[in-house]
């Protein structure tokens, strides 16, 4: 049984009303048939799998967490407690929308690498620690707080890649359609790729990604220049002894293949190219690749090209 719980976290140093994160935490549960469960719907975690690693997943800009519900279920079935959250704030200066939360002051030539670029991470980790210690919480003693995985899609994937270096408890990072090419609007030279940690890293991308292709001008790149995700794999990942990184190109997938259902009234889905394979088939493949990576199994299958460091 997979259940989820909701929680709210205040974001320090943020101004009202844009200072609250709304969490949804998915976990494997074990029903006890108690009266309290029948009345509240709150069912405790299955402690036979405890302590369970935690996946903190960052949404793309203006993509609701409902679009990642399918993936959260897959991860929770694999005994990975999965955290999604909703945060409404500035996505760009003066523009309000759904965001994973990015501190642009920490993404500049003189500041990048000095501190986390996402101020939401530490408050969420602190909240999970409290839930893990609270005897009334369904997650009491269920969480492995020393085994955190950062994952994300699009800008959320960028957040995951940028921040693994700042938290010792982060053991792996995965991203779909995310990269660390830096915007020239933030003061970076054209073609700059920001470094990421030498932790196990999985970069997933589709060969029909119209959003990344249509955004290359942000990085001072020509439309037909190298793929930003490929450049992140080639130039950003800092190899070290025992480290591993994968760049996986999924044939027929586009920018939003990971998001289902997709709300196309917001965001930039109009830039994307159509998928050339069944969407459900691609989603199953995305989930299999993520789980294989996290379970340290071979990454293989049809319709993919894998590079490894």
| Cα–Cα nearest to 10, from 21, 18, 2, 1 | 21
In the prediction, which pLDDT does 215 show? 87
Residue 240 has pLDDT above 90, yes or no: no
| Cα–Cα nearest to 248, from 190, 307, 160, 295 | 307
pLDDT digits 0-9 by tens, 78-92: 999 999 999 999 998
Cα within 13 Å of Cα(77), Cβ side = 9
* 29-33, 134-138, 260-264: segment of lowest average pLDDT: 29-33
Across residues 267-284, what is the average pLDDT? 95
Token pair for residue 32?
């006890």
pLDDT digits 0-9 by tens, 285-306: 999 999 999 999 999 999 999 9
Q: If pLDDT is split at 50, 70 and 90, which confidence band does 39 have?
A: confident
In the prediction, which pLDDT does 279 show? 98
In the prediction, which pLDDT does 41 show? 81
Residue 46 has pLDDT above 70, yes or no: yes
Q: If pLDDT is split at 50, 70 and 90, which confidence band does 252 have?
A: very high
- In the numeric block, the tokens 């709300």 are attached to 263
- Average pLDDT of the residues of the chain: 94
Contact 208, 274 (CB under 8 A): yes
pLDDT digits 0-9 by tens, 187-231: 999 999 999 988 999 999 999 999 998 888 888 877 666 799 999
pLDDT > 90: what percent of the chain?
Answer: 84
> Would you tell me the crossing angle of helices 69-77 and 279-294 to the nearest 10 degrees?
40
Across residues 125-145, what is the average pLDDT? 97
Query: Is pTM beyond 0.85 here?
Result: yes
Domains of the chain: 2-308 (3.40.50.1820)
What are the backbone dihedrals phi and psi of residue 112, each rounded to the nearest 5 degrees, phi first?
-60, 130
Contact 198, 240 (CB under 8 A): yes
């Amino acid at each position: 049984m997979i259940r989820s719980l909701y929680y709210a976290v205040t974001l320090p140093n943020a101004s009202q009303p844009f200072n609250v994160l709304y969490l949804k935490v998915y976990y494997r549960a074990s029903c006890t048939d108690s009266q309290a469960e029948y009345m509240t719907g709150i069912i405790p975690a299955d402690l036979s799998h405890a302590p369970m690693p935690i996946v903190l997943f960052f949404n793309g800009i203006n993509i609701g967490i409902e679009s990642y519900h399918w993936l959260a279920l897959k991860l929770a079935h694999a005994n990975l407690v999965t955290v999604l959250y909703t945060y409404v704030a500035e996505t760009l200066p003066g523009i309000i929308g759904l965001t994973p939360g990015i501190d642009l002051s920490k993404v500049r030539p003189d500041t990048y690498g000095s501190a986390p670029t996402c101020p939401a991470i530490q408050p969420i980790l602190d909240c999970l620690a409290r839930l893990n210690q609270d005897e009334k919480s369904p997650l009491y003693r269920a969480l492995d707080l020393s085994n955190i995985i950062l994952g994300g899609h699009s800008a959320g994937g960028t957040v995951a890649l940028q921040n693994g270096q700042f938290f010792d408890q982060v053991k792996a990072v995965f991203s779909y359609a995310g990269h660390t090419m830096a915007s020239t609007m933030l003061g970076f030279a054209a073609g700059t790729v920001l470094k990421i940690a030498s932790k196990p890293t999985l970069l997933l991308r589709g060969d029909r990604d119209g959003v990344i292709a249509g955004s290359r001008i942000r990085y001072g790149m020509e439309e037909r220049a190298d793929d930003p995700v490929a450049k992140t794999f080639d130039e950003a990942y800092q190899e070290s002894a025992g480290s591993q990184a994968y760049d996986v190109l999924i044939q027929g997938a586009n920018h939003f293949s990971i998001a289902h259902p997709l709300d196309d009234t917001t965001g930039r889905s109009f830039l994307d190219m159509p998928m050339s394979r069944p969407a459900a088939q691609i989603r199953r493949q995305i989930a299999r690749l993520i789980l294989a990576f996290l379970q340290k199994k071979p990454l293989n299958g049809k319709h993919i090209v894998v590079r490894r460091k």
